[in-house]
């Protein structure tokens, strides 16, 4: 089932970065497309909500109309955002484009999670249209990830860590669509033609995550240094075997990625000091780790090792605590994947 994503909080960081003066002109034709992207995304969200309600109410005509609207508006947001990126120069325009791409990408994520969750809960014409819609949604999301990755070379150096975090969260922050599709196939209720479409989509979704692992490995040095160790360990251990990992385990692995990103001080929803301090450091200002910054080691301790990894009161301790999580990550991944990783 869909769940809250750390991507939403990361997006807020990116919006804040857009507002920061850059060497590029404050006025840009790139900015003109941003309101259109937001409008398309808002319409897509509303249509997706109405679609879900119509499915639950067995109102096929409304469900089909709202699904068509959600798909059309999401695609329009993506097209506009990608056009913005193609025209964007370095600096502020590229940040505006990245922000719009993130909005569109997040909407594709929501669309995918919703339609994959419902594909085995309905039948008839609506089920067929849902099944036929999944591959194009997967491809649409991948296009956005590719353009966002290309923008890393255009945005200011201070914005690369947050943008790399957005790309990571959007690419491998979770595997909900994979688990949804696998569950649909395992339900035994899908008609033959629908089962074939769902099976094809499952292969596409799994391959997309495989490609995402490779992409994130290539941009790992751009991610915040305190998460490079744990993420690097996960990537090294699973990148070559994703295609053979059962979906439930794959979802657990990608869930670890989401937890790591969600624990970043500039992503989390903790004290304002955490956001201000780390973001200030990323932007070239002073950073004063302390009580205001969430203790990443403690936050991840229960996840990785079943207990706390200790606390820290200074910058060195903060980095050291999360760096020390690497061995615990290795252990839990090994236990999860067992013989698959040797």
What is 233-265 written as a DSSP string? Answer: HHHHHHTTTGGGS-HHHHHHHHHHHHHHHHTST
CB atoms within 10 A of CB 192: 6
pTM over 0.85: no
- Tell me, what's the pLDDT at 190? 93
- Tell me, what's the pLDDT at 321? 42
- Tell me, what's the pLDDT at 18? 57
- Tell me, what's the pLDDT at 315? 38
Query: Is 326 within 8 Å of 309 (Cβ atoms)?
Result: no
- Tell me, what's the pLDDT at 319? 40
Contacts (Cβ under 8 Å, ≥6 apart) of 296: 226, 263, 264, 265, 318, 321, 322
Per-residue pLDDT of the chain (342 residues; tens, 9 = 90+): 334 454 555 555 565 555 555 444 445 555 578 899 999 999 999 999 999 999 999 999 999 999 999 999 999 999 999 999 999 888 888 888 998 999 999 999 999 999 999 999 988 999 999 999 999 999 999 999 999 999 998 988 888 888 888 888 888 877 889 999 999 999 888 999 999 999 999 999 988 888 888 888 899 999 888 888 888 878 877 766 666 667 777 777 787 787 777 767 555 443 233 322 332 332 333 333 333 323 333 333 333 333 333 333 333 443 444 444 444 555 555 555 454 444
Q: State how far Cα 154 lies from the chain centre.
A: 21
Specify the DSSP class assigned to residue 31. G
- Tell me, what's the pLDDT at 317? 41
Q: State the Cα–Cα distance between residues 323 and 296, nearest whole angstrom.
A: 10
- Tell me, what's the pLDDT at 313? 34
Angle at 298 between CA 294 and CA 303, to 5 degrees: 120
Nearest Cα residue to 239 out of 207, 210, 261: 210
Three-state SS string over 273-315 comes to HHHHHHHHHHCCCCCCCCCCCCCHHHHHHHHHHCCCCCCCCCH
């Amino acid at each position: 089932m869909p769940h809250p994503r750390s991507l939403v909080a990361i997006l807020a960081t990116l919006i804040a970065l857009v507002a920061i003066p850059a060497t590029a002109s404050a006025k840009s034709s790139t900015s003109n497309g941003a309101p259109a992207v937001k409008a398309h995304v808002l319409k897509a969200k509303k249509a997706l909500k109405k679609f879900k309600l119509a499915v639950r109410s067995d109102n096929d005509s409304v469900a089909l109309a709202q699904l068509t609207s959600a798909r059309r508006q999401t695609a329009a947001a993506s097209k506009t955002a990608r056009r913005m990126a193609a025209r964007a120069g370095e600096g502020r325009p590229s940040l505006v484009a990245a922000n719009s791409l993130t909005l569109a990408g997040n909407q594709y994520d929501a669309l995918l999670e919703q339609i994959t969750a419902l594909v085995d809960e309905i039948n008839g014409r609506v089920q067929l249209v849902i099944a036929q819609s999944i591959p194009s949604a997967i491809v649409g999301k991948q296009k956005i990830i590719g353009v966002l990755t290309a923008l890393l070379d255009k945005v200011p150096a201070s914005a690369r860590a947050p943008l790399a975090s957005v790309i990571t969260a959007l690419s491998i922050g979770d595997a909900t669509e994979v688990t949804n599709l696998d569950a649909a196939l395992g339900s035994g209720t899908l008609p033959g033609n629908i089962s074939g479409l769902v099976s094809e989509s499952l292969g596409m979704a799994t391959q997309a995550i495989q490609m995402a692992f490779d992409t994130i490995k290539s941009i790992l040095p751009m991610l915040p240094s305190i998460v490079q160790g744990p993420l690097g360990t996960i990537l090294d251990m699973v990148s070559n075997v994703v295609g053979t990992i059962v979906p439930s385990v794959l979802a657990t692995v990608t869930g670890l990625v989401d937890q790591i990103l969600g624990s970043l001080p500039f992503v989390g929803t903790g004290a304002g000091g955490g956001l201000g301090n780390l973001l200030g450091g990323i932007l070239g200002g002073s950073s004063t780790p302390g009580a205001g910054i969430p203790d990443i080691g403690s936050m991840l301790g229960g996840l990785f090792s079943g207990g706390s990894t200790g606390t820290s009161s200074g910058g060195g301790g903060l980095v050291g605590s999360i760096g020390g999580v690497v061995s615990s990550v290795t252990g839990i991944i090994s236990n999860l994947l067992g013989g698959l990783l040797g």
